Structure 1
Amino acid sequence: MRPTDTSNFAPAEISKRKIRRVKANGRERARMHGLNDALDNLREYIPITTKHQKLSKIETLRLARNYINALQQMLQTNEQPTPLEYAHTLANGLSQTTTNMLANLLQVQPRHLLPPSQFDMFSDAPLFPQHPQHLQNPPHHQSFCPSSESPTSSSCSPPQYYYSPNQPSAAPLQATCELAQYQQMYLQNPNRFSSYSP
């Protein structure tokens, strides 16, 4: 847009135009300050707060929308989703960077949150490392799952809380029940599995 030629305007008209432009700029600055303040306030209530990494305006709004949807589903079903289901709901439509942060907070593998087209690229990758140390030293979070000695427990109990600004950490990691049982079986009788080839 070409600048307005003010050579044909009277000094009074030029002064009025400058005043209107200054007022318009002031209103725009006030509007942007109000918008930024509102977004900063919103960031205090979404799962990723300013304690982690400041999201862009559009990412903040998208995550807030997904967070509302997740809370609505919990109210409608009266059930807590698994960390993976919760992460899927929150990551809908978000960038890969934000998705990775959510995966880290909820302690799920980021590749499980990839779209199907991208997930196929990593489908051949092992879900757990094939390193013997993870069997010899099972992680502490396996205690969240029932042991193999409790046949009445068919699934892991849902987490008791989900991440909120007042909570210093994400929801506890829910280990896969089958993996925990296999680990315990291996520790009790490692010779049983020695005949199996990888």
Structure 2
Amino acid sequence: MRPTDTSNFAPAEISKRKIRRVKANGRERARMHGLNDALDNLREYIPITTKHQKLSKIETLRLARNYINALQQMLQTNEQPTPLEYAHTLANGLSQTTTNMLANLLQVQPRHLLPPSQFDMFSDAPLFPQHPQNLQNPPHHQSFCPSSESPTSSSCSPPQYYYSPNQPSAAPLQATCDLAQYQQMYLQNPNRFSSYSP
């Protein structure tokens, strides 16, 4: 087989390669535009929206995964987690910067969301007060409101941090009393929350 003489075809081949490269670049740009548009849409449905800060692609996907897990847990247990429990679920595998934003958004201490090995470096104290009589029903699961008042109308009801299905991009509702205040109040006077009478 005689070798192919490319001297006469080199310019045509180069031209074809350039055309193929231009088309490939155009397809890649279109793909990236589609991906970015999809991620921008996803960012409007996760707890940290673009109104707070625009997350990277990988952080957006990780937070979306954690948010879906949190919603699944709520559906399975039919219970509302505490802000700290909710924050732990959302912060799984996220960077420290994103974790700090979640902590600020949910009004919990960022150090409470650190891995156990890192948390031990800052404090050996437990996250919640441990009292034998309250092990079955920890204080952070109670509404801390008089029985004559509606928990949903009291200013001391647990923080509300879930999103309305009709307003997915809205910021969480802020509570008057946060989790740290509940803990401090309970430590100062544990019997205070069991002495209410109708």
- Please classify the TM superposition score into its range, dividing by the shorter chain length: 0.5 to 0.7
The answer as to whether partners of 2:145 and 2:156 remain within 8 angstroms in 1 is yes
Aligned residues: 198
Calculate percent identity across the aligned residue pairs: 99
The answer as to whether partners of 1:66 and 1:92 remain within 8 angstroms in 2 is yes
Give a deviation string over 1:83-113, Cα, whole Å, max 9, x none: 1000000000000000000000100011100
The answer as to whether partners of 2:45 and 2:168 remain within 8 angstroms in 1 is no
1:10, CA displacement in angstroms? 2.1
1:12, CA displacement in angstroms? 1.4
1:70, CA displacement in angstroms? 0.2
1:44, CA displacement in angstroms? 0.2
Identify the residue that residue 57 of structure 2 maps to in structure 1: 57
1:13, CA displacement in angstroms? 1.2
Structure 2: runs of 5+ lacking an equivalent: none
CA shift in 2, pair 1:172/1:39, >3 Å: closer
The answer as to whether partners of 2:159 and 2:177 remain within 8 angstroms in 1 is no
Give a deviation string over 1:139-179, Cα, whole Å, max 9, x none: 99999655999999999865555146976999989999999
The answer as to whether partners of 1:80 and 1:158 remain within 8 angstroms in 2 is no
Mean alpha-carbon deviation: is it higher for 133-142 or for 108-117?
A: 133-142
Q: Report the RMSD for the aligned CA atoms in angstroms.
A: 9.2
1:190, CA displacement in angstroms? 16
CA shift in 2, pair 1:32/1:158, >3 Å: same
Identify the residue that residue 15 of structure 1 maps to in structure 2: 15
1:82, CA displacement in angstroms? 0.5
1:34, CA displacement in angstroms? 0.5
- State the SS of the aligned residue for 2:61: helix
Give a deviation string over 1:58-93, Cα, whole Å, max 9, x none: 000000000000000000011110010000000000
CA shift in 2, pair 1:156/1:88, >3 Å: farther
1:33, CA displacement in angstroms? 0.4
CA shift in 2, pair 1:92/1:8, >3 Å: farther
TM-score, normalization by structure 2: 0.66
The answer as to whether partners of 1:142 and 1:180 remain within 8 angstroms in 2 is no
TM-score, normalization by structure 1: 0.66
